[in-house]
């Protein structure tokens, strides 16, 4: 296999693994927080339904964690296997957060094991809830640390490059690079947002499928409320991300906005298609790009004409950006209307079509996550380390990458189908009505025996 092919297949394999991992990783970051909130509400309101909610979510979470862990291990090793030159170079500057991430995993893994197996060990539920705190912290910090690595790839700093050698290395400066604040915040909050809407989708789906239990209604209301908060947060931080780009990676923003010429009073173009150099059927919002980039309707926004031809990212990232933003705005509206509707007693939020809309929100936010990452990563092309190393220089020279791609693709197919089948079976075999009945029977028996827990 020639070198070009190695590069090509390394890219495809990285894209595949990351795109698959990110689904489970996002759930892994967000769901522990949701479980924590539900259990806390349950304890505070002394409402068994919320506790049960936490418990059932935790059960499903185990399955997604398992796939997250094994695919994460795969991508962790693949970084060295597929991008050895990149890791050799970047490892000298950015190994620290990568290393710290393993501690976050460790912490999470240990307490997750404990949490899952101690539901009935404590008389005081609060103690059990306390065990979840390190799980949620560990998961969020894995996201923080790995995103710092990714931020470094976008805005490398903390070293000097002298004759191809890295000198004067400052690991902390590398970690706190300009891309880091917005990137970390946006990734973490969108993970919370996605998890909230996935759980809301499940609750709405059960209600649609004929269960009328208050359990699902409580679940839906809680998750929609959280989803609203996080989606507003995501949009605000997304706006800051745009400002970061305008300042430090203007080519990414310009390519996403099809902004060809550097100019002030720049309009924002939504949707549309690109026909050669010609932009068609877009919705143009005057001044909006200047506002997104610099909070000033007249500010100058750098266009693609300021960059050499071979350093411009692919222009299709426009569609990815639009997909992400559209879904973000849509979800704010869906959850906002739901929340408002609850207060104003609007009936339509309980209608079937609105519930279907909420169900759609689950997969849609996952699509937004994928679109966002593809936008961020493809928008960095042709660089793997911006302005320092291009993707082809970083790749492995090994043959056989194509074979590995087919092997891993098969693996992910099995894992993806397997996790869905197992999750469905798990909850179908033990519907909430039955679980509540079982627990009540158990409690009755317990009091009869004199509560010998």
Partner 1 sequence: MSLEVLGITVLMTFLFGYIIVGAIDFGAGFFNAYSLLTGKEHILTNVIQRYLSPVWEVTNVFLVFFFVGMVGFFPSTAFYYGTTMLVPLSIALILLAIRGSYYAFETYGASGHKGYSFMYGMAGILLPASLSIVLTISEGGFIDMVDGQPVLDYGALFTSPLTWSIVFLSIAATLYISAVFLTWYADKAGDRDATELLRKYALIWSLPTIITAGGIVWELRSHNAEHYNQLLGLWWMFALSGALFIGTVYLLWKRHNYGLAVWLLIGQFALAFYGYGIAHYPYLLYPHLTIHDSFTNPAMATALIIAFILGLGLLIPSLYLLLRLFLFNKDYVKGRKKDEHA
C-alpha to C-alpha distance for 67 and 65, rounded to whole angstroms: 5
Report if residue 170 touches partner 1, rule: CB under 8 A.
yes
Label residues 291-313 b or e (16+ Cβ within 10 Å = b): bbbbeeeebebbbbeeeeeeebb
String of contacts with partner 1 for each residue 123-142, x by CB under 8 A: -----------x--------
C-alpha to C-alpha distance for 451 and 449, rounded to whole angstroms: 6
Closest CB to partner 1 among residues 331, 395: 395
Contacts 24+ apart (CB under 8 A), 41-45: 41/222, 42/125, 43/125, 43/126, 43/129
User: In DSSP terms, which residues pair with 268 in a beta bridge?
Assistant: 285
C-alpha to C-alpha distance for 65 and 163, rounded to whole angstroms: 44
How many C-beta atoms lie closer than 10 Å to residue 285's C-beta?
Answer: 13
Closest to 396 (Cα-Cα) out of 407, 405, 386, 409: 405
Closest to 140 (Cα-Cα) out of 227, 58, 26: 26
Binding partner of residue 66 among partner 1, ligand HEM, ligand HDD, none, CB cut-off 5 to 8 Å per kind: partner 1
Interface residues toward ligand HDD, by CB under 6 A: 154, 179, 183, 186-187, 190, 193-194, 234-235, 238-239, 241-242, 245, 252, 324-325, 327-329, 365, 368-369, 372-373, 376, 379
Q: Which residues ranging from 368 to 387 are in contact with ligand HEM (CB under 6 A)?
A: 373-374, 377-378, 381, 384
Q: Mention every residue, 6+ apart, whose C-beta is less than 8 A from residue 145.
A: 97, 98, 100, 101, 104
Minimum CB–partner distance for residue 98 and ligand HEM (Å) = 7
Closest CB to partner 1 among residues 3, 305: 3
C-alpha to C-alpha distance for 335 and 233, rounded to whole angstroms: 13
Report if residue 207 touches ligand HEM, rule: CB under 6 A.
no
Closest to 427 (Cα-Cα) out of 137, 125, 219, 118: 219
Torsion of CA 231, 237, 239, 243, to 10 degrees: -170
* 124 DSSP 8-state letter: S
Minimum CB–partner distance for residue 235 and ligand HEM (Å) = 18
Give the binding range for partner 1 (CB under 8 A) out of 74-82, 204-212, 244-252, 343-351. 74-82
C-alpha to C-alpha distance for 369 and 189, rounded to whole angstroms: 11
- Using CB under 6 A, count the residues that bind ligand HEM: 42
Spatial contact of 178 and 247, defined as CB atoms under 8 Å apart: yes
Report if residue 274 touches partner 1, rule: CB under 8 A.
no
Answer for which of 9, 49, 53, 72 binds ligand HEM (CB under 6 A) is 72
CA distances from 365 to 26, 35, 157, 195, 371 (A): 11, 19, 32, 9, 10
Binding partner of residue 396 among partner 1, ligand HDD, ligand HEM, none, CB cut-off 5 to 8 Å per kind: partner 1
Answer for which of 35, 143, 245, 266 binds ligand HEM (CB under 6 A) is 143
Closest CB to ligand HDD among residues 21, 216: 21
List for the chain the helix, strand, coil content (%; round to 5).
Answer: 75, 5, 20
Binding partner of residue 183 among ligand HDD, partner 1, ligand HEM, none, CB cut-off 5 to 8 Å per kind: ligand HDD
String of contacts with ligand HEM for each residue 388-417, x by CB under 6 A: ---x--------------------------
367: left (phi over 0), alpha (psi -120 to 50) or beta: alpha
Closest CB to ligand HDD among residues 134, 379: 379
Q: Which residues ranging from 78 to 107 are in contact with partner 1 (CB under 8 A)?
A: 78, 80-85, 87-89, 91-93, 95-96, 98-103, 105-107
Q: Mention every residue, 6+ apart, whose C-beta is less than 8 A from residue 400.
A: 1
Binding partner of residue 134 among ligand HDD, ligand HEM, partner 1, none, CB cut-off 5 to 8 Å per kind: partner 1
Q: Which residues ranging from 81 to 120 are in contact with ligand HEM (CB under 6 A)?
A: 83, 86, 105, 109
Report if residue 14 touches ligand HEM, rule: CB under 6 A.
yes
Q: Which residues ranging from 395 to 424 are in contact with partner 1 (CB under 8 A)?
A: 396-398, 400-401, 403-404, 407-408, 411, 414-415, 418-419, 422-423
C-alpha to C-alpha distance for 383 and 3, rounded to whole angstroms: 18
Answer for which of 8, 36, 59, 76 binds ligand HEM (CB under 6 A) is 76
CA distances from 442 to 309, 324, 417, 436, 451 (A): 70, 47, 35, 10, 10
Minimum CB–partner distance for residue 196 and ligand HDD (Å) = 10
Report the interface residues with ligand HEM, using CB under 6 A. Answer: 11, 14-15, 18-19, 21-22, 24-26, 28-29, 64-65, 68-69, 72-73, 75-76, 79, 83, 86, 105, 109, 139, 142-143, 146-147, 149-150, 153, 187, 191, 373-374, 377-378, 381, 384, 391
């Amino acid at each position: 296999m020639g070198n070009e092919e190695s590069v090509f297949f390394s890219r495809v394999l990285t894209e595949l693994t990351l795109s698959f991992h990110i689904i489970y990783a996002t759930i892994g970051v967000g769901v522990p927080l949701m479980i924590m909130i539900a259990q806390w509400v349950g304890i505070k309101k002394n409402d068994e339904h919320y506790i049960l909610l936490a418990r059932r979510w935790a059960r499903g979470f185990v399955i997604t964690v398992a796939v997250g862990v094994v695919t994460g291990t795969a991508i962790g090793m693949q970084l060295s296997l597929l991008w050895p030159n990149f890791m050799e170079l970047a490892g000298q500057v950015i190994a620290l957060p990568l290393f710290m991430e393993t501690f976050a995993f460790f912490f999470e893994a240990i307490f997750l094991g404990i949490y899952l197996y101690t539901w009935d060990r404590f008389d005081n539920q609060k103690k059990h809830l306390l065990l979840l705190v390190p799980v949620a912290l560990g998961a969020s910090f894995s996201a923080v640390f790995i995103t710092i690595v990714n931020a470094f790839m976008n805005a490398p700093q903390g070293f000097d490059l002298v004759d191809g050698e890295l000198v004067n290395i400052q690991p902390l400066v590398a970690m706190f690079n300009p891309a880091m604040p917005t990137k970390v915040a946006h990734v973490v909050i969108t993970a919370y947002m996605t998890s909230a809407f996935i759980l809301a989708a499940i609750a709405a789906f059960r209600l649609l499928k004929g269960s009328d239990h208050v359990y699902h209604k409580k679940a839906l209301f809680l998750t929609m409320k959280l989803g609203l908060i996080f989606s507003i947060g995501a949009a605000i931080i997304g706006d800051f991300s745009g400002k970061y780009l305008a300042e430090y990676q203007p080519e990414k923003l310009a390519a996403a906005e099809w902004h060809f010429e550097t100019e002030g009073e720049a309009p924002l173009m939504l949707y549309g298609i690109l026909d050669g150099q010609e932009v068609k059927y877009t919705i143009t919002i005057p001044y909006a790009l200047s506002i997104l980039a610099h909070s000033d309707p007249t500010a100058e926004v750098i266009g693609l004409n300021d960059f050499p031809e071979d350093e411009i990212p692919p222009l299709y990232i426009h569609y990815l950006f639009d997909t992400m933003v559209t879904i973000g705005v849509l979800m704010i509206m869906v959850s906002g209307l739901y929340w408002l509707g609850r207060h104003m007693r609007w009936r339509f939020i309980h209608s079937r079509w609105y519930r279907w809309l909420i169900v759609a929100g689950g997969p849609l936010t996952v699509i937004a996550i994928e679109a966002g990452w593809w936008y961020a990563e493809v928008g960095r092309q042709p660089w793997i380390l911006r302005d320092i190393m291009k993707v082809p220089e970083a790749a492995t020279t090994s043959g056989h990458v194509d074979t590995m791609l087919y092997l891993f693709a098969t693996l992910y197919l099995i894992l993806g189908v397997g996790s869905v089948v197992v999750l469905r079976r798990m909850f179908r075999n033990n519907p909430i009505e039955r679980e509540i009945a079982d627990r009540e029977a158990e409690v009755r028996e317990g009091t009869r025996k004199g509560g010998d827990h």
